[in-house]
Amino acid sequence: MTAKPTEIKEALSHFKDFEHVFLATIDGNHPRVRPVTLINLNKRFWVTTDTNSAKVKQIEKNPNMELCLLFTEQDMDCCARVAGLAKIIRDKDTKTKIAKRCDFFSKHWESVDDPNYTLLEICPAEIEIVTPEKTTRLKL
């Protein structure tokens, strides 16, 4: 069953504008996990990365991914897991809009036209919120 809008809003409230998360992609039949900065803009998730990175090559072959955000709630360790697809975004206007939001962008790329700048959109299909008290799974 698809989650209610209020449930989705509550689950997404754990994500700030910029979050350090762990992103898992698939390399053949092996998971590969690495830390990335997740950008939360207008209720959509984005990741900036190098075009030649392993994650881009893996997403080109298999767009399935999962990410995990660690957070605390009432002094307890919790996590939010998001499963879905990663899309490579080639639209220059979108790439520019995201780049302007990232204070770290110029440390990695010369401009939005830099061929080594790739923008990923993270498209959630499921969100799981895990707290010591309960686990909530939502289909989007």
How far, in Å, CA of 92 to CA of 66, rounded?
A: 26
Q: Report the pLDDT value the prediction gives residue 71, as an integer from 0 to 100.
A: 96
Q: Please tell me whether residue 110 adopts helix, strand or coil conformation.
A: coil
Q: What is the pTM of this model?
A: 0.94
Q: Whole domain around residue 120: which residue ranges?
A: 5-139
Our count of domains for the chain comes to 1
Give the integer Cα–Cα distance in Å for 65 and 33.
Answer: 10
Q: Which two tokens stand for residue 51?
A: 């075009």
CB crowding 100-121: b at 16 or more within 10 Å, else e = eebeebeeebeebeeeebbbbb
pLDDT in tens, the chain (140 residues): 688 889 988 999 999 999 999 999 999 999 999 999 999 998 899 999 999 999 999 999 999 999 999 999 989 999 999 999 999 999 999 999 999 999 999 999 999 999 999 999 999 999 999 999 999 999 99
CATH number, residue 21:
2.30.110.10
How far apart are alpha carbons 62 and 74 in whole angstroms? 37
